[in-house]
Amino acid sequence: MAASIKEVAQRAGVSLGTVSNVLNRPDIVSPETRKRVQEAIEELGFVRNDSARQLRAGRSRTVAIVVLDVSNPFFTDVVRGAESIVEGAGGMVVVCNSGGDAAREHRHLDVLEEQRVQGILVTPVSDGKQPRLDRIVTRGIPVVLVDRGAGLANQCSVAVDDVLGGRIAAEHLAERGHRRIAFVGGPLALRQVTDRRTGAETALAELGLPAPLVVETPMLSVSAGRQAADEIVALPSTRRPTAIFCANDLVALGVLQALTAHGLKVPDDIALVGYDDIEFAAGAAVPLSSVRQPREQLGRTAAQLLLEESTDPEHHEHRHVVFQPELAVRQSSERKRRRVR
């Protein structure tokens, strides 16, 4: 059933090595033999056994990307960016989902290490030391951290300046005349979340404005956003913020939905700014202002760094690429009508 190179050789009346040559260096074998071999391959429905190939050759053409949340459009866009580069180089991308769970992340990394993949792009669940990643790196498998500032120096990283992103969002809202601003997102243990918060707080402090009300959520999801908005709506109107900056767009969409359900108008009653600029942000019924990250670019760059290190590990120097976010201004943070009129 599973035809091997040996049977192909037999059928084509050539040696085993010749078949391998047809497969890997077709140019060094004469046209006629090549043809005969190819016919045999065709007839037998032969398909290379990648395990054997990899065992002998030591290399794999598979790049893995381990994402925090496969349901978050932000990550699927990063994946698409990585795919475009890796497939262009003749490789293949597989996606693994940690779902924010450290145990699952570990399981995935273990299996990927056993598989000796060509390299791993990963947004780790936690920020601390990563003995697993370190071991993988010392084994010679390149690792690139995605959307995570590089703590350690033994791997490349690509990220977006989240502190700047938070700053931009806060300055935008301040410039629109808002004084009472809330920050919604969590868990605060996530680096991305704290960076965005820090940026916003710093900017407000510099402008002499009060620190934002921080509402922590258990995760970055639509439903978490909805619950947070319920809390905010329950505040007495004198303390209720006039603007909310959310740690990502999923949360912002949840907030938007809950505010609307409570009869509050966005942006007239409360302005809203999200983060990531996923497609659903622009498509929301009140189009969402959002801090845009170059999502696909993030994936592309990460993949490029990985391939670079993989191709020439000797001369490779680890790099840390940081992109600048920019604000996409939409209706959810338009100037309040009462001020315009």
Host H or E run for residue 306:
helix 295-311
Q: Running DSSP on this structure, what letter comes out for residue 302?
A: H
Q: Is 71 in the site for a copy of itself (CB under 8 A)?
A: yes
Residues 2-31 within binding reach of DNA (CB under 7 A): 2, 4-6, 14-21, 23-24, 28-30
Torsion of CA 325, 331, 334, 340, to 10 degrees: 160
Q: Is 112 in the site for DNA (CB under 7 A)?
A: no
Residues 24-43 within binding reach of a copy of itself (CB under 8 A): none
Q: Which is nearer to a copy of itself, 18 or 257 (CB)?
A: 257
Q: Is 49 in the site for DNA (CB under 7 A)?
A: yes
Cβ atoms of residues 98 and 66 within 8 Å:
yes
Site string for a copy of itself, 84-103 (x = CB under 8 A): ---x----xxxxxx-x----
Cβ atoms of residues 226 and 257 within 8 Å:
yes
Closest CA to 229 of 251, 250, 207, 212: 251
Contacts of residue 335, defined as CB under 8 A and 6 or more positions apart, other chains included, come to 176, 177
Closest CA to 275 of 332, 318, 203: 332
Site string for a copy of itself, 184-223 (x = CB under 8 A): -------------------------------------xxx
Segment interacting with a copy of itself (CB under 8 A) among 57-65, 161-169, 193-201, 212-220: 57-65
Q: Which of 6, 35, 107, 179 binds a copy of itself (CB under 8 A)?
A: 107
Site string for a copy of itself, 260-289 (x = CB under 8 A): x------------------xx--xxxxx--
18 interface partner picked from a copy of itself, DNA, none, CB below 5 to 8 A per type? DNA
Q: Which is nearer to a copy of itself, 181 or 281 (CB)?
A: 281
CA separation (Å) from 38 to 1, 8, 238?
18, 9, 79
Q: Which is nearer to a copy of itself, 143 or 203 (CB)?
A: 143
Cβ atoms of residues 60 and 119 within 8 Å:
no
Torsion sign, CA atoms 198, 203, 206, 207:
negative
Q: Which of 11, 40, 46, 147 binds DNA (CB under 7 A)?
A: 46
Cβ atoms of residues 70 and 100 within 8 Å:
no
Neighbouring CB atoms inside 10 A of 112's CB total 21
279 interface partner picked from a copy of itself, DNA, none, CB below 5 to 8 A per type? a copy of itself
Contacts of residue 243, defined as CB under 8 A and 6 or more positions apart, other chains included, come to 173, 176, 178, 180, 181, 182, 270, 271, 272, 273, 333
Which residues in this chain contact a copy of itself in the complex, by CB under 8 A? Answer: 1-2, 45, 47-55, 61-62, 64, 70-71, 73, 76-77, 79-80, 83, 87, 92-97, 99, 104, 107-108, 110-111, 113-116, 135, 138-140, 221-223, 226, 253-254, 256-257, 260, 279-280, 283-287
Which residues in this chain contact DNA in the complex, by CB under 7 A? Answer: 2, 4-6, 14-21, 23-24, 28-30, 32-33, 46, 48-49, 52-53, 55-57
